[in-house]
Structure 1
């Protein structure tokens, strides 16, 4: 089976990492894979397949594939124009909720091609808003990288880990301003001293009035080390197709406090594997973090539940299921 994956870029980030995983998993199963990417765009992941650099992602530059697998609305349009009968829509998030042209993004879900989504919540959004059914294949974590071995010992000053995405770079929906507000509330309501470790992928962001350190890790191993150094990981997204960082934190034995961003409910259960709060509710978030920091029993309970959930959502499981899904779609097309 020949699989063509058109991408806009492969910079460091969850979605791009998933595409690299899909490509390499297909190659491992002896499929012919070609990643098509515009010239000059970053490729930050090691690919075991053919990589073709093209002037732009237009239909004339999309080669034939038994399966053509776009994952974003801007890559779907040229892929569908070139090979409408071969397209499979991989959805990592419902773009009409945040892109500048929601009607155009919605159109890409209405073209009667097979859709694979990464959570039940995401599948529900696609069905409700675009009328398209989809097959769900949950993401997973690499447990060789994200594991609890080597966790830091207990300390008096607690560490809160947060991935701070820049609102001015298009990541307002990740909830950075909500996190800042919640930390100021936490400082007022808690006597326990804490330090925030902030991972800042785009640029160093401020956290005035709160003890903190900033990091810009370049590898998954560096990120995993930060997870293991934390007493709690906080996620503040308004909505997510899946939300991989909380699952990575769970795999590292770090208790999670997260907003109910939708896709997270496929692996996180309130009071079992995480404390889940409402999106855009900084006070609620602050009190949840306080509970985790103040209760050894609750912290241990959430930690154990998170480890169990992470074991059930491995990268190997995701790769096996996504390859099988694509093979099945191709088999049904050719037999029909």
Structure 2
């Protein structure tokens, strides 16, 4: 069986890493796997599969595969035009939730073509069902416990002074408003007014250094997972303010590293977040609740311990290995079902 994966980019980012992991898992299973991407596209991850560069992702540039696995509405269009019967759609985020106008219409159309869908969370499965009446095969993402773990000699409760608040800041001016950076800024000012201890924000800035006026902070641009793990382990709390997440790997990575999490109920994270058990969960677009969550964790060691234990136990179940095994099994089962249907 040959699998073709058309992608727009393999730049640094959670969704692109997932595509690289899928390709490598298929190669490890012995399947011929080919990634097709534009000439200009960066490749930020090790790839064991064949890489084919093309001028543009269009119908004539998509080679045959027994399975063609597009991941985004833009890559679905040429893949479906070329090989409609071979397409299986991978959904890491339901694009109609954030697109508008004609783009939203096109994105919704890609889910209306009745091709099999694999989604990465039960929340996404419900979104797809609500809009087009089709269920997907759910395969949760996972982390590598050999990389993301608390490390040796971690204290029961970290005794940093000042306390460290870790946040991944995505630039709302270049398309990442849904990550809720403005909400985080407001929450930190509210937190500063009500918290009597010393604290500092460690802010990971991906696109550019973003401002956090009036709040003590340092900015970081980690270049690999090892540097990310060091930041997770050094933090007393990790904060996510996203409005929508198809899954949400960073909160899970933080849990695996023994760091309590404050996160919005942004969708896919609820596959692994339970309020006051594995995370402190708050509504999206609610800076006051985010500030309260941070303050509760930093002021209550027993709560922090409970979330650390719950988070580590949760992360131990959702591993990169289990995702790799389950995604291959899902693709194999869909292909078997498709062949069975064609014989009827």
TM-score, normalised with respect to structure 1? 0.99
Alignment of 1:209-228 (within 5 A): 209-228=214-233
Aligned to 2:188: 183
SS at match of 2:25: helix
**Is residue 200 from structure 1 mapped to residue 175 from structure 2 by the alignment?**
no
SS at match of 2:321: helix
Alignment of 1:224-303 (within 5 A): 224-303=229-308
SS at match of 1:35: strand
Aligned to 1:41: 41
**Is residue 324 from structure 1 mapped to residue 326 from structure 2 by the alignment?**
no
C-alpha distance after superposition, 1:5-31 (max 9, x if no partner): 000000000000000000000001001
Aligned to 1:143: 145
Aligned to 1:86: 86
Aligned to 1:116: 118
In the aligned structure 2, how far is the partner of 1:161 from the partner of 1:127? Answer: 35
In the aligned structure 2, how far is the partner of 1:145 from the partner of 1:99? Answer: 35
In the aligned structure 2, how far is the partner of 1:208 from the partner of 1:35? Answer: 43
Count of matched residue pairs: 336
Cα displacement (A) at 1:210: 0.3
C-alpha distance after superposition, 1:93-152 (max 9, x if no partner): 000111241111000000010000111111101110122211110000111111100547
C-alpha distance after superposition, 1:29-80 (max 9, x if no partner): 0011000000011011110010000010001000000000000000000000
Could you tell me which runs of 5 or more consecutive residues in structure 1 were left unpaired when the two chains were aligned: none
SS at match of 2:135: coil
Cα displacement (A) at 1:202: 0.6
Aligned to 1:127: 129
Cα displacement (A) at 1:331: 1.7
Aligned to 1:15: 15
Aligned to 2:173: 168
Cα displacement (A) at 1:333: 2.0
C-alpha distance after superposition, 1:275-309 (max 9, x if no partner): 00010000111011000000110000000000000
Alignment of 1:60-79 (within 5 A): 60-79=60-79
In the aligned structure 1, how far is the partner of 2:53 from the partner of 2:227? Answer: 30
In the aligned structure 1, how far is the partner of 2:187 from the partner of 2:299? Answer: 16
